[in-house]
Structure 1
Amino acid sequence: MEKKRVLVAMSGGVDSSAAALLLQQQGYACDGAMLKLYSGEVEGTCCSADDADDARSVAYRLGMKFYIFNETERFARDVMDHFVAEYCAGHTPNPCIDCNRCLKFGALLERALVLGYDYLATGHYARVGYDPETGLYRLLRGRDRRKDQSYVLYQLTQHQLSHLLLPVGEFDKPAIRESAREAGLLNADKADSQDICFVPDGDYGRFLREYGHVEMTPGDFVDREGRVLGRHKGLPCYTTGQRKGLGVSAGRHVYVVRKNAADNTILLGDNEELYARELTACRVNWISGTAPTEPVAVTAKTRYSQMEAEAEVTPLPEGRMRVVFRQPQRAITSGQAVVLYDGDTVLGGGVIEDR
């Protein structure tokens, strides 16, 4: 019987390398591929020359072909330019989610299928399931809840899931590292990349000025009564929930509660003012392919690192939804994602537009 062919998205890290190793052990015929996403060469981030060398070395050791596909133009248009536009609109975007949607499971999956591969595989800590009764694929949390990455995959579709393998999602991180060591992979103990690849130092303001040519327009920090508490350096320099670096002496801890692009002000308030029970979201993706026709009880979370909370979601016209939490949630931020769960199953999610 002819082996199924898999193109493995390799970043140079241990997770994607272990994905290739596991799939080979399961009897798949694998090759590796990396996307070149931007022109800058910054050490310590994904897509660097060192990462490409590591990925190529692993592919060679496993006897696989290795490709590098240039997607710099698409990455600039769909991820970096969108990042700039969202910040200028007063939002706080998540570019990794955009990259997954447009590049990894867009451009790379398209290439894989054109080249005759049956599947694309990545090193994400999540799982793909299939329900024979409904004929639908499901996106499931990773077995290791501490490493679960299903949050950043909520935009996957039925078509994408039908061609996707996520082998590391069945394991925890120590087991993945051990399997890489046993196979003699050079990156078995390589540190995980934590930064946005095109803003490795975390200085969003500098990136927006230098890449996006954004002029930072100073404005007022204000409180609920409209009193001016100080001056800010420009809306893109701040995010909801931020306390440090405000340069405001209010006699107490104050936090960024809301950014108002209409009048270029930033509302500051106490920690309690950051809590809200409701939000609306746009660009909603239902992984089943069909939105529910009535309110649904779910658990949901509005940030990658937080625990999900009980909520009710109501679909709205034009691909939007309303999410009402049972308990108030802290620092719900426009531009971030709200992701919906039913147990271990990801139902979908959307981009927070207001609260």
Structure 2
Amino acid sequence: MRVLVAMSGGVDSSVVAALLVEQGHEVVGATLQLYDHGAAIRKKGACCAGQDIHDARDVADRLGIAHYVLDREQVFRREVIGDFADTYARGETPIPCIRCNQTVKFRDLAALAADLGCEALATGHYARRVDGVHGAELHRAADAARDQSYFLAATTRTQLTLARFPLGDMPDKASVRALAARFGLAVADKPDSQDICFVPEGRYDTLVGRLRPEALAAGEIATSDGRVLGTHEGIARYTVGQGRGLGTASWDGADKLFVAGVDAPARRVIVAPRGAIESTQAIAAEVNWLVDAPDAPLRCQVKLRAREAPRDATVAWDAATGLLRITLDAPGIVAPGQACVMYDGDRVLGGGFLRARGSVDSARAAA
């Protein structure tokens, strides 16, 4: 086939390109430029930046394949970085990797693949695409420690039909680096990207403050019954379940306190003991189904955060409102803004973005 490979300049996507060339496919490489070259080239641990573009081009030259660089700075700034800052300003916790996959990666690269006459779009994600009875299915990777299926839950069924994930069956990252060495790729020992790619130094609050200054305005830290225990320097610095950074509001008598919620209009952070912040109920919007949407309550497993294990739950889909109502078998921490991804064993059924109970934005829910 003619295959478009999304080449970030890292070892994973480089190995994907090399494997497909070795298998006899006609491979075309594409790299997304998401930052200004001059600024990006100095960023350590960032992907899709200056040095990474050079690395991707070098790999393409070694493999003898065509390579394109797509300028997506403005789109990335608007749809990923802007959404990141907006989500914090609403008092929620964003998950930008899903937004990036949903927009500048799969949407834009799928369009490029069509323009170039490619029959497939391959990426370096650790996930598996399985041809099922009713079409392409998304499954977790063989290496559970590196599985990225959670971050691909917003991929549409049409995009999944086009997608290929050659690393999905790899047993571990060491095997991928060994392949890179065998192919003679200079990126074989290149470190993995760290933190959020556009905030490589980890100071996301500085970025949010520049774009949404109100998210770093001072406010109160209080209990759910209104007792003020302390102050904070911006709601963007807090997420549901967080126990650090509360200062004098870290304890209420003998009880250790955690963030239970964020009231953005009042610039107030709500705290409570650990047991009080857990819930068995959640709501998700912007739901993307990778199976036929169920017309009755569905038993499945859900992940409410990228680094937690799937937990048993019952979900109910309301097509009229576009909302997914989740009932967990055991209480968990529900952080609005994060993703809820549904699984049946290893298979991804779909996913959406968690919303605060009772304050669902109908416009975003219908998006």
Tell me the equivalent position of 2:18. 21
In the alignment, the residues of structure 1 paired with residue 110 and residue 248 of structure 2 have an alpha-carbon distance, to the nearest angstrom, of: 48
After superposition, what is the alpha-carbon deviation per residue over 1:308-350, rounded to whole angstroms, capped at 9, x for unaligned? 0111110023221011111111x31000000000111100010
Question: Gaps spanning 5+ residues in structure 2: where?
Answer: 358-367
Q: Does the Cα contact within 8 Å between 2:221 and 2:228 map onto a contact in 1?
A: yes
Contact 1:254 1:268 in 2 (8 A): yes
Q: Hey, what's the Cα distance between the residues in 2 that align with 1:231 and 1:214? A: 15
Match of 1:164? 163
In the alignment, does 2:300 pair up with 1:301? no
Match of 1:36, as an amino acid? Answer: Q
Q: TM-score, normalised by structure 2?
A: 0.91
What is the match of residue 32 of structure 2? 35
Alignment of 1:183-222 (within 5 A): 183-214=183-214, 216-222=216-222
Deviates more, 1:166-175 or 1:35-44: 35-44
Match of 1:279 among 259, 271, 282: 282
Q: CA deviation at 1:159?
A: 1.1
The answer as to 2:243 corresponding to 1:246 is no
RMSD value over aligned CA atoms?
Answer: 1.5
The answer as to whether partners of 1:208 and 1:214 remain within 8 angstroms in 2 is: no
Q: Which residue of 1 aligns with 2:227?
A: 227
User: Whole-Å Cα distance in 2 between the matches of residues 212 and 265 of structure 1?
Assistant: 16
Paired amino acid for 1:307: A
Pick from 290, 295, 315 the counterpart of residue 317 of structure 2.
315
Question: Aligned residue for 2:364?
Answer: none
Letter of the 2:150 counterpart: Y
How far apart, CA to CA, are the structure 1 residues paired with 2:177 and 2:203?
31
Matching of residue 138 in structure 1 with residue 140 in structure 2:
no
- Residue matched to 2:64: 63
* 1:100 shift after superposition: 0.3
- Distance across 2 between alignment mates of 1:181 and 1:189: 8
The residue that corresponds to 2:154 in the other structure is: 155
User: Matches of 1:201 and 1:214 in 2, distance apart?
Assistant: 22
- SS of the equivalent of 1:167 reads coil
Whole-Å separation in 2 of the counterparts to 1:97 and 1:197:
12
Is the contact between residue 95 and residue 337 of structure 2 (CA under 8 Å) also seen in structure 1?
A: yes
Residue 293 of structure 1 aligns to a residue whose secondary structure is coil
One-letter code of the match for 1:244? Answer: R
Shift of 1:210: 2.1
Code of the aligned partner of 1:111: L
Equivalent in the alignment of 2:126: 125
Residue 56 of structure 1, CA deviation: 1.2
Over 3 Å counting, the alpha-carbon distance change for 1:222 and 1:215 in structure 2 is: closer
Identity of aligned residues (%): 41
Q: How far 1:48 moved relative to its partner? A: 2.1
Tell me which amino acid in the other structure corresponds to 1:5: R
How far apart are the structure 1 equivalents of 2:56 and 2:199?
22
Tell me, which stretches of 5 or more residues in structure 1 are unaligned? none
User: In 1, distance between residues paired with 2:195 and 2:178?
Assistant: 25
Alignment partner, residue 270 of structure 2 = 267
**TM (normalized to structure 1)?**
0.94
Cα deviation for residue 280 of structure 1 reads 0.4
**CA distance 1:190–1:337, shift in 2 (3 Å):** same
Q: Give the Å deviation of 1:224.
A: 2.8
Cα distance between partner residues in 2 of 1:120 and 1:216: 40
Out of 350, 353, 358, which is 1:351 matched to?
353
**Are 2:89 and 2:215, in contact at CA under 8 Å, matched by a contact in 1?**
no
SS of the residue corresponding to residue 174 of structure 2 reads: helix
Task: Tell me how far 1:114 sits from its aligned partner.
Answer: 0.8
Instruction: Tell me the amino acid that sits aligned with residue 342 of structure 1.
Output: D
More helix as a share of residues = 2
SS of 2:248's equivalent in the other structure is: coil
- CA deviation after TM superposition for structure 1 residue 11, in Å: 0.9
1:98 CA drift (Å):
0.4
The aligned residue for residue 5 of structure 1 is 2
How many angstroms apart in 1 are the aligned matches of 2:215 and 2:183? Answer: 51
CA–CA distance in 1 between the matches of 2:45 and 2:344? 36
- Rounded Cα–Cα distance in structure 2 between residues aligned with 1:5 and 1:256: 50
Cα distance in 1 between the residues matched to 2:45 and 2:350: 32
Q: Is the 8 A contact 2:89 2:236 kept in 1?
A: yes
In structure 1, C-alpha distance between the alignment counterparts of 2:182 and 2:31, rounded to whole Å = 24
Matched residues, number: 348
